[in-house]
Amino acid sequence: MVELQQLLESVIEKKASDLHITTGSPPQFRINGSLTTFDSVALTATDTKRLCYSVLTDAQRHKFEEDWELDIGFLLWSKRTEPIQRKRLYATGSGGRSLPGHLL
């Protein structure tokens, strides 16, 4: 079973601009304008919800379920526990965009 942390680390490694999480297909990365499939099986509705909800607080889950859209940002930490990339997740269950992160 694929985990969101694993997918986001792959986004950084592959220098992908987007991550698409969609029910009925494997996770996909946008690399240089083209979609590339992650080496995984197609996601079920349960998988998609689990992946997207894994980064949400209870308040964010409630807001998403009320409004059916949510825009959040968070840091992805490396195994060295340093922030390595800022991520923005459009929690519609369909995708996220990689944004360059800077530590000031």
Q: Where do the domains of the chain lie?
A: 4-99
Q: What is the pTM of this model?
A: 0.71
Q: Which of 38, 32, 31, 13 has its CA nearest to residue 21?
A: 38
Res 102: pLDDT: 42
Highest mean pLDDT among 63-67, 72-76, 88-92: 63-67
Say what the pLDDT of residue 91 is.
Answer: 40
Q: What CATH code is assigned to 4-99?
A: 3.30.450.90
Across 2-11, 30-39, 75-84, which has the greatest mean pLDDT?
30-39
Using alpha carbons, select from 95, 93, 91 the residue that is nearest to residue 17.
95
Calpha distance 19→28 (Å, rounded): 6
* pLDDT of residue 99 exceeding 80: no
> Is pLDDT at 81 greater than 70 in this prediction?
no
Instruction: Choose between 79 and 25: higher pLDDT.
Output: 25
